[in-house]
Structure 1
Amino acid sequence: MRPVMSFDDVAWDESERIVNSWTIQFCRPHIGEAAAQTLLDHHHPEEPVDFTVIGRGSYNICFRIVFVNSPPAVLRFPLPSTLRFPEEKTRNEAAIMRYLEECTSVPVPRVIHYGAVAESRLSLGPFIIMEYLSHQSTLYTSLNTPGRPPHLRAVLDPNISEQRLGDIYGQVAEIMLQLSLSSFSRIGCLEKKGDTTWEVAFRPHTLDMEQLCVMGTLPTTCLPDPRCTFDSSSSYLEFITETMIQHLRHQRNDAVESADDCRRKFTARRLFHLLAKEGKLSNPSLNNGPFKLWCDDFRPANVIVDSNDRVCGVLDWEFTYAAPLEYTYAPPWWLLIEKPEYWEAGLDDWARVYEQRLQIFLRSMAKREDACIANGQMTEDQRLSTHMRKSWDTGHFWIAYACQHSFAFDLIYWEKIDPRFFGATSDPESAWKARMALLSKDEVDEMESLVEKKMQEMHTRVLAWDCDELTGFLSTYTKEALAQAVSDALLYGQAGSTDPAGSGSAGSPLESPASLAMYRAMLEWLTKN
């Protein structure tokens, strides 16, 4: 049996096809012009001299505009089909970046403007315009093993010096301390009320939630109302564990490998849900907060640095919300860059190597805490290093990790969580057979009904996702339409003055970049990334 639950490959393939089609359309001059004009509609300090794509990540595409004397700016659109809630994601990200700029010393780009779909030209999507932070690289590059082939997953350089690693860890620890100093009375995303007050007003918008809907075909009806927030860690974790059961029920393809694999996954999720209902997944003393800011996607790849590995800024604040204290008190999983579920030598070896690096991280954090306490920024009882050490030693780290990574849940549960609560077994692979005795008769009946359903689903592979309106529209695009978009872009570049789409871009302030070389370079970059 695979240690982790697979994405629905039918949904994944369709998502990749759609996002590639949508992205390559920016090779068409009138689409590129619409993106540029969207930015200039809301930020136009002087005449622009260059507009180009600078990055396509997992969830966004970014463009940079350069002016003669004013600082450059960045335009950022969420990628369709990779997200189920692009409007919600963009709104929350703009809000949290503004909060961090106002209320913390975390280095983030200044938000110039946030706009909904209706404010973008050609309805390209919701967007954020922000300042461009000059940088050399990211901490991901600084920490990765030198010479490691790009097609392999990154792993922390085993030969990195302790001094350099401690310095890098220390800079990130300082950012984490800043996040921990903000407190909220509920769990969820922020909204500004009036001129100075920030409140938790929306549901927690998490990375796991997006992945469950897009790659796990979870219906949106299984999620709380957008205005739903949580007043306790226990109620939030109970919701998460119930969502994991719903995920297993609804993922149409690749969720299980066999009837026994289905039983194993169902048993794990039912027992995890039971632990949540009994309040065993949260610390009673922390249950009612105060809750702290947490970013699901905070990791080395999103921390930009200069040539001396000094932090210039932190990007990608989507999936940030006030979360249970157990999340903040767990040490960061990314100390080795690689996630535990993908570690080639297995979970126990990951934990062994992680423990070595954790010592360095906690020492670095303790030094930053000492400085903050000395200058009055925090008090002794606000130290994170002590709580992180305890979280790792008690195994609560694994509970927090499992709650945030549904597709890795089965590996984490059977190897790290089940033995803690229900006793050690000789073989985690077959432990589920003994644990089935803990299920009620109704739960066993539910399980067998699910097994029958999943076995029937294996005979056909169909796309069964609950997608947003834009993704549904783009799913009608064919490969031929995509090829025509590319052909139009290259034709326009060769002609130099004829726009096949009839956009009427002549005389635009960005007419000069519309050249054959530009669009060929853009096409090459987009298809490669």
Structure 2
Amino acid sequence: MQTRMCPDDVAWEQAEETSDNWLVQFLEVDILRPIADFVLIYHRGAATEFAILRKGSYNISLRLKYRNGATVIRLSQPGAVFFPEEKVVNEVAMMRFLADQTSIPVPFIIHSGTKKESPLQLSPFIIMDYIEHETKMYDALNIPGCPAEERGILDPNIAEDRLEMLYGQLADVLLQLSVPSLSHIGSLSQIDDFTWRVTQRPLSMNMNELVRLGDLPRSKLPDTTFNTSSSYLEALADLNIEHLIHQRNDAVESADDCRRKFVARKLFHKLAKNKQLTNPSLETGPFKIWCDDLRPANVLLNENMQIVGVVDWEFTYAAPAEFSYAPPWWLLIEKPEYWPKGIEDWTTVFDYRLKTFLKVMKNREDIAIQEGRLTEDQRLSGHMGQSWESGDFWIMYAVLHSFAFDTIYWRKIDPRFFGPTENPEEAWKERLSLLDEKEQYEMEQQVARKLEDMKTRALAWDPDEYTLAFHQQLKRRREEADEEKDKNNEVENRGNETEASGLSGADTISDKLAATRLSR
């Protein structure tokens, strides 16, 4: 069994091509200069340098340096973000909320806007202060000397006191995120200077990836807030079913693989619908702040290895408390489905490191309670330990990582609810009786459709209007380049024919080349 469901490679190629070609323009001075002039509007000072800071998974960041600081403008990448306007609005509201409600060091937002309001109408943007830092938590935890192109992993030889110092700071961030209580599940809106409410649907990283790489139509995503944990998990379980239905390519390896994935999703949905995946005492909240992209790579450290900034708050929303009560997978840096020695080894190593994390978290809780920053009932350490021991951790991981769902379900969730099996890869056959006749018929229909999809390799893509517009522009450029190439080939062929006849074709060829250049 694969450790993760493969993304649609045809869709992935389209998304990457769009994003890569959009990024190329930032190498041109004619693009950079108007952006720099735009940023300068919001900072009256002498600029000393303007350059690309970094290209992330969803954005490109450019930094404008001054004598006494720096400003960053971050623009969403078409082809990477399929909800750019919504993402930026959500992130701005969340960052301002965190700055007001916590002491987590987040960048100060100077200005933000839509694509139409952006320089050269490139994409939705945020202008914020740059946080000076020496390194990132990722580098402090990673194996020393790990090449940048390789996936990181927690240094197995890291000193215990160093690990406790770094883990302790991360525990502080999680504790602060868990304190605010919200009445609904969804994205925050700022009502006035001191008031925020959950008014929009939750927009998660997983949802973006399902549309971008899993062919899920955007219309299938939730469009409302939720007032119960079970209703939200049921909606996420339904998304996993829709994902399997709609991903055209690379979703399954064979007919039986399709059946295995169908059974897993249907049974998981039944568990969610029957409210077996959530804690009844947490059903109606209060709900907690959850960031899909909170991980060591987004935590900035100074030269003393102290946190000076936490960045990239996109895909942050109010979520079921069970999300916050699950211990963070990123304690090992690497996800379980990518772990070199497999998920069971990841589980063993994680269990060992989690003991250290919970110990330092409890110490941080004790200090926060003594200082009046936390109450006894706001401790996280006990909840996290219980989530790990009960297996609730794996439920939350499965609903947040759709491409890793199958192996997580069969190895960690199915045995808990339906009993152990000798071979997880064949367990689906034993569970067929739990599906009714209509569901089994639906399964076979799905198998037939998937086998046909494997032959055609068609593209099924539902990008946002900005990604689609740039992709179509890219397509037109390519068609024009092909036409020009054909014209040049025609000119070259005619020139060869003229030479073969013993005549001088210089004037004719020059005229046609000139005409070709003028028509570009």
State if a TM-score over 0.5 links the two structures: yes
**Distance across 2 between alignment mates of 1:127 and 1:152:** 30
Q: CA deviation at 1:307?
A: 2.1
Paired residue type of 1:162: E
* 1:23 matched to 2:19: no
Which residue does the alignment assign to 1:498?
A: none
Corresponding residue to 1:474 among 456, 470, 475? 470
Q: For residues 19-72 of structure 1, give each alpha carbon's deviation from its aligned partner in whole angstroms, at most 9, with x where no partner exists.
A: 11100111222211232233234x132232221111001011001111234x31
* 1:399 matched to 2:395: yes
Paired residue type of 2:120: L
Which residue does the alignment assign to 1:180?
A: 178
Corresponding residue to 1:130 among 120, 128, 131? 128
Corresponding residue to 1:92 among 90, 93, 104? 90
Paired residue type of 1:362: L
User: Once structures 1 and 2 are overlaid, which stretch shifts more, 412-421 or 4-13?
Assistant: 4-13
Alignment of 1:282-361 (within 5 A): 282-361=278-357
Which residue does the alignment assign to 1:39?
A: 39
**Distance across 1 between alignment mates of 2:462 and 2:274:** 32
Q: CA deviation at 1:479?
A: 8.7
Contact 1:38 1:119 in 2 (8 A): no
**Distance across 1 between alignment mates of 2:429 and 2:20:** 44
Paired residue type of 2:451: M
Alignment of 1:404-483 (within 5 A): 404-478=400-474, 481=477
Paired residue type of 1:54: L
SS at match of 2:450: helix
Which residue does the alignment assign to 1:14?
A: 14
**Distance across 1 between alignment mates of 2:92 and 2:36:** 19
Q: For residues 238-259 of structure 1, give each alpha carbon's deviation from its aligned partner in whole angstroms, at most 9, with x where no partner exists.
A: 0000011000000111111111
Paired residue type of 1:66: K
* 1:368 matched to 2:367: no
Which residue does the alignment assign to 1:119?
A: 117
Q: For residues 422-458 of structure 1, give each alpha carbon's deviation from its aligned partner in whole angstroms, at most 9, with x where no partner exists.
A: 0000000000011111001110111111111111111
Q: CA deviation at 1:480?
A: 10
Paired residue type of 1:21: N
Larger relative contact order, structure 1 or 2 (CA cutoff 8 Å, min sep 6): 1
What 5-or-longer segments of structure 1 have no aligned partner?
A: 486-529
Q: CA deviation at 1:195?
A: 2.6
Which residue does the alignment assign to 1:145?
A: 143
Which residue does the alignment assign to 1:219?
A: 217
Which has more radius of gyration? 2
Paired residue type of 1:17: E
Q: For residues 222-273 of structure 1, give each alpha carbon's deviation from its aligned partner in whole angstroms, at most 9, with x where no partner exists.
A: 0122xx1000000000000001100000011111111110000000000000
Alignment of 1:47-86 (within 5 A): 47-69=46-68, 71-86=69-84
**Distance across 2 between alignment mates of 1:100 and 1:109:** 10
Which residue does the alignment assign to 1:156?
A: 154
Paired residue type of 2:103: S
**Distance across 2 between alignment mates of 1:165 and 1:101:** 27
SS at match of 1:149: coil
**Distance across 2 between alignment mates of 1:439 and 1:208:** 27
**Distance across 1 between alignment mates of 2:435 and 2:44:** 65
Contact 1:304 1:313 in 2 (8 A): yes
**Distance across 2 between alignment mates of 1:238 and 1:261:** 23
Report the CA distance shift for 1:52/1:186 in structure 2 as closer, same or farther (over 3 A).
Answer: same
Which residue does the alignment assign to 1:497?
A: none
Alignment of 1:202-217 (within 5 A): 202-217=200-215
**Distance across 2 between alignment mates of 1:34 and 1:94:** 23
Q: For residues 159-200 of structure 1, give each alpha carbon's deviation from its aligned partner in whole angstroms, at most 9, with x where no partner exists.
A: 001100010000010011000110001001101112311100
Q: CA deviation at 1:114?
A: 1.1
Q: Normalised by the size of structure 1, how large is the TM-score?
A: 0.89
SS at match of 2:75: strand
**Distance across 2 between alignment mates of 1:145 and 1:119:** 43
SS at match of 1:457: helix
* 1:271 matched to 2:267: yes
**Distance across 2 between alignment mates of 1:4 and 1:154:** 18
Paired residue type of 1:67: Y
**Distance across 2 between alignment mates of 1:20 and 1:437:** 48
**Distance across 1 between alignment mates of 2:189 and 2:473:** 36
**Distance across 1 between alignment mates of 2:323 and 2:474:** 43
Which residue does the alignment assign to 2:516?
A: none
Paired residue type of 2:104: V
Which residue does the alignment assign to 2:507?
A: none
Paired residue type of 1:46: G
**Distance across 2 between alignment mates of 1:152 and 1:432:** 35
SS at match of 1:49: strand
Alignment of 1:175-254 (within 5 A): 175-225=173-223, 228-254=224-250
User: Once structures 1 and 2 are overlaid, which stretch shifts more, 109-118 or 45-54?
Assistant: 45-54
**Distance across 2 between alignment mates of 1:248 and 1:463:** 15
**Distance across 2 between alignment mates of 1:195 and 1:109:** 17
Paired residue type of 1:462: A
**Distance across 1 between alignment mates of 2:311 and 2:11:** 28
Contact 2:18 2:474 in 1 (8 A): no
Paired residue type of 2:137: L
Paired residue type of 2:306: R
Give me the identity figure in percent: 53
RMSD of aligned alpha carbons: 1.6
Q: CA deviation at 1:281?
A: 0.5
Contact 1:92 1:318 in 2 (8 A): yes
**Distance across 2 between alignment mates of 1:251 and 1:223:** 15
What 5-or-longer segments of structure 2 have no aligned partner?
A: 482-520
**Distance across 2 between alignment mates of 1:308 and 1:182:** 29
The number of aligned residues is 481
SS at match of 2:455: coil
Contact 1:173 1:364 in 2 (8 A): yes
Q: CA deviation at 1:219?
A: 0.1
